[in-house]
Amino acid sequence: MSRRNKLLKFTENLTFGNVYQSSNYEDGRLYGKDHQEVSLRGRWNELHFKNDKAITLELACGKGEYCLGLAARYPNRNFIGVDIKGARIWRGAKTAVEENQTNVAFLRTRIEFLDRYFGNEEVSEIWITFPDPFLNDTKSNKRLTSPHFLDIYRKVLESTGYVHLKTDSNPLYLYTKEVISEEKLNLLIDNADIYKEELIHPDLDIRTFYEKQHLKNQLKIKFVKFSLGSKV
């Protein structure tokens, strides 16, 4: 993608009422449409969605294909795609505007600062779809199912909430199950090949661009669903 094309998308993001971003990810300050500052931590439903429906996050959402799919399927829930890449978020935000999906918003930030932007137990569910597996063991702390990130999720996720991981990466899948075991978490669903038989979860049929590519390459898609609870 050319630099000019990226700049055009960054500029258009500022015209969307469903995109929030920050110039300093650590301070929790967010800017929405026309670069107006807004404080959404603990107030996403009050200030953005204007309702009290449950909130689902899609982390490392890319173009937001999964949260858009979920939002279309569940109009009585709210969905927020989180990613650091503004040009990717642009596509999801624009689609949501074009299709009048008012139950979808996008947040541009780094996931390690998630608790700056969401209040305690403000989120009911988290989806992580095809994240970077960071295969080098020296970067294991960057994996979105590492203990480091699970501690961050605990700060924003309801105690009864769920985390879903959908991935083509066998190392990430095995690593996640190891973390679940070591952290003594509640593993609810474990499937190493979701398309081998009837889908074990009703929302696994939503396919992103990358998943379609993985399937063309005959890669097996894995899925785990688990709950965090409070860390002892």
Angle (nearest 5°) at CA 127 between 124 and 128: 145
Strands lying side by side in the sheet with 186-191: 37-38, 30-31, 19-21, 104-108, 78-83, 55-59, 123-129, 157-167, 222-227, 186-191
Name the residues annotated as catalytic.
132
Q: What would the DSSP string read from start to end of 17-63?
A: TTEEE-SSTTS--EE-GGG-EE--TT-IIIIII-S---EEEEET-TT
Name residue 127's beta-bridge partners: 58, 164
Pairing of strands 186-191, 222-227: antiparallel
Give the residues across from 166 on adjacent strands. 129, 223
